[in-house]
Amino acid sequence: MLRLLLPAAMFLFSLAPGASFAIKAPTVNASGYLLVDVESGQTLSESNADARLEPASLTKIMTAHVVFSELKAGRISLQDMVLISEKAWKMQGSKMFIEVNKQVSVEELLKGLIIQSGNDAAVALAEHVAGSEEAFAELMNKHAAQLGMNGTNFVNASGMPDENHYTTPRDIALVTESTILEFPELYKWYAEKEYTFNKITQPNRNRLLWQDETVDGVKTGHTAAAGYCLVSSAKRDGNRLVAVVMGTKSDSSRVVESRKLINWGFRFFDTTTLFKRGDELKSVRIWKGEADNLSVGAGDDVVIRYPRDMKDKLSAKLSISSPLEAPVSKGQQIGSINIMLQDDKLKIVPLIALEEVKEAGIFGWLMDTVLLWFEE
C-alpha cells in the first residue's frame, strides 16, 4: 500500500530529475544521452543531458514539429503545392531529390524530410511556411521556447553545421515527446522504412526499425562535428520510452547504444497509476470558510515508472501551505504531491482543491481568527 504523509512544508511544482536507484544503468558511449518514460515524464537515465551539442539532422524533428503545428492550425494543408527554389534544390548532404521550379506537395516533402532526411525538403518546407529559412528558424526557436527547450538555438531547418546552431539531449527529448503526444497521426511517418520519390527509393536511416518491431521512430543525425546521433522511441505493453543518444562514433554504435538504453528501461521498470484525477487523497483543515474541511487530490492522473519489485517502497508526501484559509476555488493549487521512492524524489505534481470553499460569515471568520491565534 502506498504511504501517504502530510508535512507542513510547501514545495514548488516541478519535475524531479531522474533519481539513481539500485538498478545500475548501462554504460552508454556517447557525448550525451537521455532515456525518458513518456507517460510519466520521468527521466530514467541520463548523462550530459544538458550539454550543448550539435544536433545535425535531429534538427528535423523540430522542423517537422513546426510544420505539423501549422497544419493543425489550418494555415497550410498537406495538399499545398510548393514551388521548389534553387536554394532548396542545391542543398548538400542527404536529399529527397526534388527539382528546381517543380511543384511538390507538403505531404511528399514531409515524407522526404522524415523518412529520407532530405535537407532539400527541409528548406522547401521552411520557405513555404515562413517565406525564408531564416524566418522559419525564428519560428523554430519560438516553438522551442514554448516547449521549455532552454538550451537550444536553431539557425536553419536542416541541421547543417553552424556554431550558433545547438541543442541538448534533454531539449530534443522534449520536442520528440511533444510530437508523439500532440500529432499521433503524423508521427506515424517516422515508422516508415522507406520512401520513393522521383523514382528513387531510399531507406529510413534509423536501422532500429528493422531490428525491433516495437520501435516506431524517430530520427538519425550525423555530421563530422556532431558524430552519429539517434533519437529512438519504442512502445511495449502500452508504455513508451524515448532515448536520445548524441555523439557516438559510428552508425552501428548509435544503434547499439540506443537499443541498450531502451531494453534496459523496459526490462527493469514498471509503470503504475498512483492516483486518478479527482480522487480524494486527504480531507484537510481549512480556516475562515463556510466548511471546516477541504477535500484535496491530484489535478491529473499521477503515473509513475519505478524500478521493478519496488512498488512497496513508493510513498506520497502531501505538502500544503499552512494555515490554509478560505476562499478556495475548485481546481486551485494549494500544495504539491511529492512522490518518493525511499529517499529519492521521483516526481512533484500539483495538489489541488477538489471543491470550492467560500469565505465564512463575520462570526465564523472571527471565531477562526481567534482559534488560529491560539494555534500559532
The single-letter DSSP state of residue 184 is H
Q: Are residues 55 and 109 in the same domain?
A: yes
Q: Are residues 325 and 261 in the same domain?
A: no
pLDDT of residue 372: 63
Q: Indicate the residue among 235, 267, 299 that finishes a domain.
A: 267
Q: Indicate the residue among 267, 291, 311 that finishes a domain.
A: 267
Q: Are residues 176 and 277 in the same domain?
A: no
Q: Evaluate the omega torsion of the peptide bond into residue 218 and state whether it is cis, within 30 degrees of 0.
A: yes
Q: Are residues 249 and 100 in the same domain?
A: yes
Phi, psi of 129 (to 5 degrees): -75, -45
* Known active-site residue 317: no
Q: Are residues 148 and 293 in the same domain?
A: no
Domain limits at 56?
32-267
178-187: list long-range contacts, CB under 8 Å, 24+ apart: 178/65, 178/147, 179/61, 179/64, 179/65, 179/68, 179/218, 180/38, 180/217, 180/233, 180/240, 180/242, 181/38, 182/68, 182/72, 183/65, 183/68, 183/72, 186/64, 186/68, 186/71, 186/110, 187/216, 187/217
* Known active-site residue 57: yes
Choosing from 45, 85, 94, 117, the catalytic residue is 117
CATH number, domain of 178, equals 3.40.710.10
* Known active-site residue 235: no
pLDDT of residue 362: 79
CATH number, domain of 12, equals 2.60.410.10
Q: Which residues pair with 240 in a beta bridge?
A: 235
CA 215 to chain centre: 17
- Structurally, the chain folds into a number of domains equal to 2
Q: Are residues 251 and 193 in the same domain?
A: yes
- Report helix, strand or coil for 354: coil
Q: Are residues 244 and 315 in the same domain?
A: no
CA angle 65, 69, 72 (to 5 degrees): 135
Q: What is the pTM of this model?
A: 0.88
Choosing from 31, 40, 45, 57, the catalytic residue is 57
Q: Are residues 38 and 136 in the same domain?
A: yes
Q: Are residues 338 and 261 in the same domain?
A: no
Choosing from 40, 45, 60, 94, the catalytic residue is 60
Q: Indicate the residue among 247, 267, 287 that finishes a domain.
A: 267
* pLDDT tens-digit readout, 75-116: 999 999 999 999 999 999 999 999 999 999 999 999 999 999
The grid cell for 179 is: 510530437
* pLDDT tens-digit readout, 209-263: 999 999 999 999 999 999 999 999 999 999 999 999 999 999 999 999 999 999 9
* pLDDT tens-digit readout, 108-159: 999 999 999 999 999 999 999 999 999 999 999 999 999 999 999 999 999 9
Lowest mean per-residue pLDDT among 6-10, 347-351, 366-370: 6-10
pLDDT tops 80 at residue 193 = yes
CA 339 to chain centre: 20
Q: Are residues 208 and 89 in the same domain?
A: yes
Q: Are residues 61 and 94 in the same domain?
A: yes
